[in-house]
C-alpha cells in the first residue's frame, strides 16, 4: 500500500460530538512544519468548539495560523479567523477548507495552501510522505482524551511567501501531525513536543518526541521518543525508558508574539523555554540520545478558556543532534529542528 | 449594566427596563468616529458578550472617576458597581490617561508595549498609586474580555477607519 493511502485511511477529520453532559469541548487541528534553506514555516488549520461566552451552542471556531521564520529577518505570522459558513470539513474525509486555506490529498501528496492577507505570509506546498503515519490514541488529559496522528517525514515542494519574498522549495524537510480531543485551554495539562529530520535525504532516520504533563510539569502522564527508519516506525522509547533533562533557559533578545494584540496580556519575556533539552531513551540494549538546542522563539498567545488568563505556546526553532544505537545499528544525524513548549 | 450617558432619571429607568445597551441616538455620548463612541460601543459589546470581564472592569474601578484623553478628545467616565457613566464634564478624576490614536493602534498591533508607551511618554497616566493599580486591573479585565468578544475585531476595524474623522 502506498504511504499516501495510509494517510487517507487514518488522517481524516473527526469532528465534534457532545459529551454525555451535553458540553462540547472538541478541538482539532492539522499541523505542518517545513524546514528549507533559509526558511521555516508552520501552518495550523484549527476547527474547535467555540468556547467564548457569546458563542451560540454548537458554534465552531475556525482559524488558520501561519508563521514563517527567515533566519536573517526573523518571524512573520498571524492568525486568521474564519466564519463557520466558510468552513468545509466532513467527518471521515481528509480534505479541509477554511475559506481559501486548504489541506487536501492530491495523487501521492498532501497539498497545503494557506495565506494570511494582513500579514502577507503563506504557503503553497505539496508534501509527499516518506514515512508511514503513526496513530497515538487516547492520551489522558485533565478532563478528556487527546488523539494524535503523526507523519514525521515528508518531502515538501512549492513556495513559501513572506511579503514580497518567495522561497522556492524542492524536496525540503517537512513534518505533519493531526490532533483531536476534548479539553479546554486552562485545564491542568501541558506538553512538550518536537521532531527531527536529517538534512541529508539519504539518511533513513527521523524522530519525534512528546511529553504530556500537568501544568506545573511536575507529573508526566505520557512520554515517548519515537524513531523511524525509512518508512517504518523502528523503535519507541516510552515512559520509564526515557530520561528528560532541561538545561538552562533560552533568553531571546526579541520575541515575536501571535496575534500581536495578545502581547498586551503577556508582556513578559519567556522564562521557561529550556536552552537545551536532553532526551535519552535507553532499554533492551538500545540507546538514543537527542539533544535539542533552542535558538529562537515565537510565541502563540491563546486566551485561556477556564479563566481570564493566557496559555503560551512557544514555537522554538533550534538544532537537534541525535546519536545512538538500535539493535546494534548506529544512528546519527544533526540539523535544524522545531520544538514546542507550553507555558502559562 | 452597560455604559450609559448622563440623561434624565426617566430615560435611565426606561433604558434599564429595556436591558439593552444604551446606544440610541439620544443617549449616544459621542458622535460616530470619535474615540468616545468607539469606547461606548465597545463597553456595550463587552457587557453583552463577556459579562464576567465587564464585571471585573467595574469591580476594579468602582466609585472611581477616570478621564481618558485621546488626541483632543476628552472622555470622562464615572464607574459604579455594575455600570459606567459617560459624564458631560471632567471633574477631578482619580485616574487620568492621555494618549493619541497612533499609540492605541501601535499597542493593538504589538508594536509597542504598555510599559514602553509609558516610558516614552506616549501614554501618560496620573493618579494615586492605589488608583493606578486599580486602573491597571480594570484595563487587564477589559483586554481579557475584548480578545474573547466576537464583536471587537469589527469595532476596532471601524475605529481605525475613522482615523481623522473625529
Per-residue pLDDT averaged across A225-238, rounded? 98
- The single-letter DSSP state of residue A264 is G
* pLDDT bucket at A105, cuts 50 / 70 / 90: very high
Q: What is the mean pLDDT of residues B30-50?
A: 93
Determine the residue of chain A that is closest to B140 in CA distance.
Answer: A265
- Provide ipTM, 2 decimals: 0.91
Q: Is the pLDDT of residue B155 over 50?
A: yes
Please give the sequence-ordered ranges of beta strands (E in DSSP) within A50-93, or none if there are none: 60-70, 74-82, 87-89
pLDDT at A330: 98
In this predicted model, what pLDDT tens digit does every residue of A316-332 receive, in sequence order? 999 999 999 999 999 99
Percent above pLDDT 70 for chain A = 100
Name every chain A residue with its beta carbon within 8 A of the beta carbon of B118: none
- Cβ–Cβ of A308/B115 closer than 8 Å? no
pLDDT at A166 over 60: yes
Q: Do A260 and B115 touch (CB under 8 A)?
A: no
B90–chain A Cβ distance below 8 A for any pair: no
Question: A264, A265, A299: best mutation site toward chain B, by most B Cβ within 10 Å?
Answer: A264
Secondary structure of chain B as H, E, C letters: CCCEECCCHHHHHHHHHHCCCCCCHHHCCCCCCCHHHHHHHHHHHHHHHCHHHHHHHHHHHCCCEEEEEECCEEEEEEECCCCEEECCCCCCCCEEEEECHHHHHHHHCCCCCHHHHHHCCCCEEEECHHHHHHHHHHHHHHHHHHCCCCCHHHHHHHHHHCCCCC
Q: Which residue of B has its CA nearest to A80?
A: B153
Residues of chain A positioned with their CB less than 8 A from the CB of B140 = 265, 308
Spell out which residues of chain A touch residue B144, defining contact as CB-CB under 8 Å. 265, 303, 308-309
Rg of chain A taking only CA atoms, in angstroms: 19
What mean pLDDT do residues A179-199 have? Answer: 96
Residues A149, A336: Cα–Cα separation, whole Å? 22
CB contact under 8 A, B115 and A267: yes
Mean pLDDT of A272-282: 96
The model's pTM is: 0.91
Among A192-196, B27-31, B86-90, which stretch is predicted with the lowest mean pLDDT? B27-31
User: B29 falls in which pLDDT band (50, 70, 90)?
Assistant: low
Return d(Cα A269, Cα A256) in angstroms, integer: 10
Can you give the three-state secondary structure of A220-244, one letter per residue?
Answer: EEEEEEEEEECCEEEEEEEHHHEEE
Number of CB pairs, chain A paired with chain B, less than 8 A apart: 55
Per cent of chain B over pLDDT 90 is 70
Cβ-defined contact of B153 to A55 (cutoff 8 Å): no
- Which one of B115, B148, B154, B156 makes the best mutation probe of the A interface by having the most chain A beta carbons within 10 Å? B148
Contacts of A55 in chain B (CB under 8 A): 150
Whether pLDDT at B163 is above 80? no
| pLDDT surpasses 90 at B166 | no
How many Cα atoms are found within 13 Å in the side-chain-facing hemisphere of B87?
17
Nearest to B50 among A54, A257, A265 (CB): A54
Contacts of A145 (CB under 8 A, 6+ apart): A137, A138, A139, A181, A182
For B53, the closest chain A residue by CA position comes to A308
Displacement of CA A113 from its chain's centroid (Å): 17
B77-128 pLDDT tens trace = 999 998 899 988 777 899 999 999 999 999 999 999 999 999 999 999 999 9
pLDDT band at A251 (very low <50, low <70, confident <90, very high): very high
Amino acid at each position: 500500500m502506498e504511504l499516501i493511502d495510509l494517510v487517507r485511511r487514518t488522517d481524516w477529520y473527526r469532528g465534534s460530538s457532545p459529551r454525555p453532559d451535553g458540553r462540547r469541548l472538541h478541538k482539532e487541528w492539522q499541523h505542518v512544519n517545513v524546514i528549507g534553506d533559509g526558511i521555516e514555516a508552520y501552518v495550523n488549520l484549527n476547527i474547535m468548539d467555540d468556547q467564548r461566552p457569546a458563542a451560540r451552542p454548537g458554534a465552531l471556531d475556525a482559524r488558520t495560523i501561519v508563521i514563517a521564520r527567515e533566519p536573517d529577518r526573523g518571524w512573520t505570522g498571524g492568525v486568521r479567523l474564519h466564519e463557520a459558513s466558510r468552513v468545509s470539513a466532513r467527518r471521515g474525509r481528509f480534505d479541509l477548507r477554511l475559506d481559501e486555506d486548504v489541506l487536501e490529498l492530491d495523487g501521492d501528496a498532501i497539498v497545503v495552501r494557506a495565506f494570511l492577507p494582513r500579514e502577507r505570509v503563506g504557503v503553497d506546498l505539496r508534501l509527499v510522505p516518506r514515512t508511514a503515519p503513526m496513530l497515538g490514541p487516547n492520551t489522558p488529559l485533565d478532563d478528556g482524551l487527546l488523539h494524535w496522528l503523526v507523519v514525521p517525514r515528508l518531502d515538501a515542494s512549492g513556495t513559501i511567501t513572506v511579503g514580497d519574498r518567495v522561497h522556492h522549495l524542492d524536496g525540503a524537510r517537512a513534518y505533519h501531525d493531526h490532533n483531536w480531543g476534548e479539553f479546554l485551554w486552562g485545564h491542568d495539562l501541558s506538553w512538550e513536543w518536537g521532531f527531527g529530520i536529517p538534512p541529508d535525504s539519504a539518511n533513513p532516520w527521523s524522530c519525534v518526541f512528546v511529553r504530556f504533563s500537568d501544568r506545573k510539569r511536575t507529573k508526566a502522564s505520557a512520554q515517548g521518543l519515537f524513531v523511524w527508519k525509512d518508512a517504518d516506525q523502528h523503535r519507541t522509547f516510552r515512559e520509564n525508558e526515557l530520561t528528560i533533562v532541561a538545561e538552562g533557559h533560552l533568553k531571546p533578545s526579541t520575541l515575536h508574539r501571535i496575534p500581536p494584540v495578545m502581547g498586551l496580556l503577556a508582556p513578559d519575556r519567556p522564562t521557561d523555554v529550556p536552552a537545551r533539552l536532553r532526551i535519552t531513551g535507553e532499554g533492551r540494549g538500545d540507546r538514543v540520545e537527542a539533544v535539542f538546542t533552542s535558538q529562537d522563539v515565537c510565541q502563540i498567545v491563546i486566551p485561556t478558556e477556564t479563566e481570564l488568563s493566557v496559555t503560551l505556546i512557544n514555537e522554538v526553532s533550534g538544532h537537534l543532534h541525535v546519536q545512538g544505537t538500535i539493535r546494534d545499528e548506529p544512528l546519527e544525524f544533526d540539523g535544524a529542528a522545531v520544538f514546542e513548549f507550553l507555558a502559562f | 449594566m452597560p455604559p450609559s450617558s448622563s440623561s434624565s432619571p426617566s430615560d435611565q429607568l426606561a433604558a434599564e427596563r429595556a436591558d439593552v445597551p444604551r446606544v440610541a441616538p439620544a443617549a449616544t455620548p459621542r458622535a460616530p468616529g470619535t474615540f468616545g463612541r468607539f469606547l461606548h460601543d465597545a463597553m456595550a459589546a463587552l457587557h453583552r458578550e463577556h459579562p464576567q470581564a465587564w464585571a471585573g472592569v467595574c469591580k476594579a474601578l468602582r466609585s472611581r472617576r477616570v478621564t481618558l484623553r485621546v488626541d483632543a478628545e476628552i472622555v470622562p467616565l464615572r464607574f459604579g458597581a455594575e455600570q459606567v457613566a459617560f459624564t458631560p464634564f471632567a471633574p477631578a478624576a482619580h485616574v487620568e490617561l492621555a494618549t493619541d490614536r497612533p499609540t492605541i493602534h501601535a499597542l493593538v498591533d504589538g508594536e509597542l508595549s504598555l510599559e514602553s508607551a509609558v516610558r516614552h511618554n506616549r501614554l501618560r497616566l496620573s493618579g494615586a498609586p492605589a488608583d493606578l493599580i486599580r486602573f491597571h486591573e480594570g484595563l487587564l479585565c477589559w483586554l481579557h474580555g475584548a480578545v474573547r468578544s466576537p464583536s471587537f475585531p469589527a469595532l476596532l476595524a471601524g475605529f481605525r477607519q475613522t482615523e481623522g474623522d473625529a
